[in-house]
């Protein structure tokens, strides 16, 4: 799939794309609607033992310093711009893969299967970024 940034979701929700900053445009990407990306992050937070909606920046007042998760750089990141640094990717990728592997054992419904597939796409893009020593871009 050509990685060109934000896309329209069949549900009508504009989306975002996470891709390598290598300028290739032909490499893998991970694309979600904003709604589905929010759902994905909520599931990741739940896997880490907290509710994303309780966190500062997501409607709650709980400080990020009150939770211990290597996923913070991904969870507490603006949707529509920016990038994850090499250090952030190094922190996020192993835990992301671990959660995805755990979830793969019991995917109960098509929506969860789609989230899992796009989560795997994200892990693939992150690995490409690590190997190519480039940033992961939110577009």
Q: Domain coordinates of the chain in residue numbers?
A: 15-138
Please tell me whether residue 56 adopts helix, strand or coil conformation.
strand
d(CA 104, CA 92): 18
pLDDT of 93 > 60? The answer is yes
Higher pLDDT, 63 or 1: 63
pLDDT of 131 > 90? The answer is no
Q: In the predicted model, what is the mean pLDDT of the chain?
A: 82
Summarize the confidence of residues 116-128 as an average pLDDT.
Answer: 90
pLDDT at position 2 is 24
**What is the pLDDT confidence band of residue 8, given thresholds at 50, 70 and 90?**
very low
114 neighbors 122 (Cβ within 8 angstroms) = no
pLDDT at position 70 is 95
Structure tokens at 137: 């871009």
């Amino acid at each position: 799939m050509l990685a060109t940034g934000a896309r329209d979701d069949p549900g009508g929700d504009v989306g975002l794309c996470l891709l390598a900053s290598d300028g290739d445009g032909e490499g893998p990407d991970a694309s979600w609607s904003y709604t589905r990306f929010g759902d994905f992050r909520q599931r990741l937070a739940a896997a880490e033992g907290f509710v994303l909606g309780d966190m500062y920046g997501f409607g709650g007042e709980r400080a990020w310093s009150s939770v211990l998760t290597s996923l913070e750089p991904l969870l507490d990141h603006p949707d529509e711009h920016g990038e994850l640094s090499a250090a952030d990717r190094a922190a996020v990728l192993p835990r992301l893969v671990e959660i995805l592997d755990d979830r793969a054992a019991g995917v109960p419904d098509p929506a969860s299967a789609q989230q899992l597939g796009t989560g795997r796409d994200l892990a693939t893009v992150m690995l490409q970024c690590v190997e190519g020593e480039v940033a992961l871009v939110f577009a």
